[in-house]
Amino acid sequence: MSIPRGSQVQKRFSSFMRKGLLEVPSPAEKDWPKDDEDDYVFVDLGQEVDSLPQPYRMINKMVNLLFDKCWEVIQERDALRDVEFSRTQPTTYPPLVENKLNKMPNCMAISQDYVFIGGAKGFSIYNLYNAKRIYIWEKLKVDVTSIWATDLGNEILIAPVDEMGIARLFYFNKDGLFLIKAINEVDDASKQTTCIKMEMSQGGDFAAFLLQGAGDIWLDVYKLPKESWLKEVEHPQPAINPKKKRQPQPNTLEPVTSENLEMDMNVCFRGDIKLSLPVHIMKIKPPKPVTGTTFKSPLEVFAKVEDYYGLGSGQNHFIKDSQWEQLAAIFLAPHQKYLDKEWEEEPPSMATFHFLLPSSIITMPVEVKGPSGVACVLGIHWAGSHNFFLYSLHRTLKDKVGFPLGVIALPKGCSCQSIHFLKYFLVHKGQNMYPESPLKSHMKCVVLCTDSSLYLVTAKRTQGPTISVLVERPIKHLDEAICAVAPVLALPGMLLIFSKNGSVQLMDVAKPQIICAFALPRTYHLAVPWKPLFAVSVQHPCFLLRGDHPDEIESDDTKNIQNSVFYFNLEAYPLLENISRNHTIPETDMTENMAFAQVLPLEKRCESFLQKRFQKLEKKVKEQEHWTRLRRYSLLLQRENFRK
């Protein structure tokens, strides 16, 4: 924005001006530049501009700055588009089945051949393959916000959590749906606690609930009597209170028989059947701040360390208050000027916990007898703490149960957001494969950090743990930041990666590289890309992903909105057919290969060594017997010849 000077006068003056800067000529005439018509330019003095007065000069600068910023954004997007076109894009596969729902799904879980979808006032059960609804349980006043499901063999344990933070346990089989218990529901609303998070062990032997209430937080651990449930379902006992008249069960619901609902099996809610309650075995609270010792002797310190095992926990020590004060004074002397600001210490408010199997990190003692797939230790990491605590799930043991394989630090500036344990796999002939028998003292896990970087941590036996980068932190393209990951346990070493731009990719963590990608139909997208709603099957190589239609999201008619859940079957895609068909290493191949033989348990290696030794001795004995027979036959021939 400027004002032409020539607009204020009637006469305009023109002149020729030399291009470039004027210079002082040299004394020697021979060095003078020769004049050329191209060195001059015609300038109309009337077209010169005057500087604008304030505030228009500031507005002019702001407008020019805005144009410059817009041009930088345009150039950055063009460069990004060129990079996208030049980059090798992975093969993208569409979903196989679309399941349209009448209500908005808040959460999903997969177990066996069933899908459990939590929504308004309850949850629904669907068939995984044909998307037919089997049963619907809607007897709550609030919505279900999260749901878990685990396989118990022929039965399934379901754990929904509603908006009030109340967790419930359901037992589901071919005969019906049974309500076991509302874990944290109380009659007095002032004493109501909230379930923040929960986990169930593989096989459904244990369950842990992270509860919060009255300004406190703790973890309740239960042992689940699934053997008793199986007997009680086969021989049901009615739940009748002799002191009160039998009232209709508030949660009793008859099977849904709507005309538009196709039933896959005859399922009904059995509210009149009483099942055994879970057994509370532990209540774990966050670690307290380290203070002076209250023990009188070191023997009391060692006697206290019974229930959990952590590296450098500092909870049981023999340091007195006076020693803490001396150390604090030594530290504050040079650093007091940097600590004048008041820092409010926040107590740990969240916990990440995992049920660990004997074949993962912990080895079970000889005296403990039980199936190999039963969890034996609960590992807990509290937010704000640098320790990973291991709690024994077998409280009767007096000896230590298990040990950590090692301690590894994440790179500087990285904080752990989530940990995902992988089933240990080996690379055999260029393909990821599971050993035929589970391995002990071997572990692989994927760590997602808060800066969206992704790492693979491996630990085995006495070797130190190793860490490798799978995906680096995004610097320029922040929309490619990872927001969630999920292992595909049915396929060795495969990991689903969900990014903030809505992309879903499958990564092979052993290479590491992207195998393929998955995309919703063009008319659908993820309403909240940084928090996708998905569920991955443990038994089958498949996953579910919720898709939202833009027109339906903006619609005010919530009753007629169709919400879709899309089904992706990894076995149906060409690039993954070979991986899904053959992913187990026979034990014979592992014993013959020296590299794989080292990962076998000591018993297996000794057995293999003795078998090979025995085979060699047997072969040697047979060879000796063969030569002995030949010598005897030769002696007999010599005797016959001598007689003749």
3-state secondary structure 302-334: HHHCCCEECCCCCCCCCCCHHHHHHHHHHHHHH
**pLDDT tens digit sequence for 384-414:** 666 777 788 875 544 443 645 556 777 877 8
Indicate whether 533 pLDDT > 70: yes
73-82, 434-443, 520-529: range with lowest mean pLDDT: 434-443
Is residue 213 within 8 A of residue 191, CB to CB? The reply is yes
Determine the pLDDT at residue 397.
42
Q: What angle do CA 19, 25, 31 make, to 5 degrees?
A: 100
pLDDT of residue 535 exceeding 90 = yes
Beta strands 114-119 and 122-127: pairing type?
antiparallel
Burial of 454 per CB tally in 10 Å (0-12, 13-18, 19+):
buried
Q: How confident is the model at residue 562 (pLDDT cuts 50, 70, 90)?
A: low
Report DSSP state, residue 29: G
For the chain, what percent of residues have pLDDT higher than 90?
Answer: 26
Q: Where are the beta strands (DSSP E) in 493-610?
A: 494-499, 504-508, 513-518, 534-536, 542-547, 563-569, 584-585
pLDDT band at 263 (very low <50, low <70, confident <90, very high): very low
In this structure, the chain runs to a length of: 644
| β 482-488/463-471 pair status | unpaired
Q: State pLDDT tens for residues 24-55.
A: 667 666 666 665 555 666 666 666 666 778 88
What tens digit of pLDDT does each residue of 308-327 get?
A: 444 456 666 777 788 878 88
Tell me the average pLDDT across 147-174: 92
At 577, is the pLDDT very low, low, confident or very high (cuts 50, 70, 90)?
A: confident
pLDDT bin (cut points 50, 70, 90) of residue 415 is confident
In whole angstroms, give the CA distance from residue 9 to residue 46: 8
Residue 245 pLDDT level (bands cut at 50, 70, 90): very low
Q: Which residues pair with 97 in a beta bridge?
A: 567
Q: Given the DSSP bridges, would you call strands 194-200 and 206-213 parallel, antiparallel or unpaired?
A: antiparallel
The answer to whether the bond into 492 is cis (omega within 30° of 0) is no
Q: Report residue 554: phi and psi, to 5°.
A: -80, -10
What is the C-alpha radius of gyration for the chain, rounded to an integer number of angstroms? Answer: 36
Q: Strands (DSSP E) along 537-626, which ranges?
A: 542-547, 563-569, 584-585
Rounded mean pLDDT, 268-287: 87
CA distance 443 to 439: 9
The closest alpha carbon to 14, from 46, 48, 36, 38, belongs to 46
pLDDT at 601: 60
Whether the CB-CB separation of 559 and 572 falls below 8 Å is answered with no
Digit-coded pLDDT (tens) for 461-473: 666 788 899 999 8
Worst-scoring range by mean pLDDT, 267-271, 502-506, 590-594?
590-594
Give the number of C-alpha atoms closer than 13 A to the C-alpha of residue 485, restricted to the C-beta side.
Answer: 30
Q: Is the pLDDT of residue 261 over 80?
A: no
Query: Mind listing the pLDDT tens digit for each residue in 185-196?
Result: 888 888 899 999
> Which residue spans within 267-415 are E strands per DSSP?
279-284, 308-309, 351-356, 377-382, 389-392
Mean pLDDT of 194-207: 91
> Could you give the percent of the chain with pLDDT greater than 70?
72
Q: How far apart are CA 160 and CA 105, in angstroms?
A: 13
- Per-residue pLDDT reduced to its tens digit, 86-111: 777 889 999 998 888 878 899 999 99
Give the per-residue pLDDT at 462. 64
User: Taking all residues of the chain, what is their mean pLDDT, rounded to a whole number?
Assistant: 78
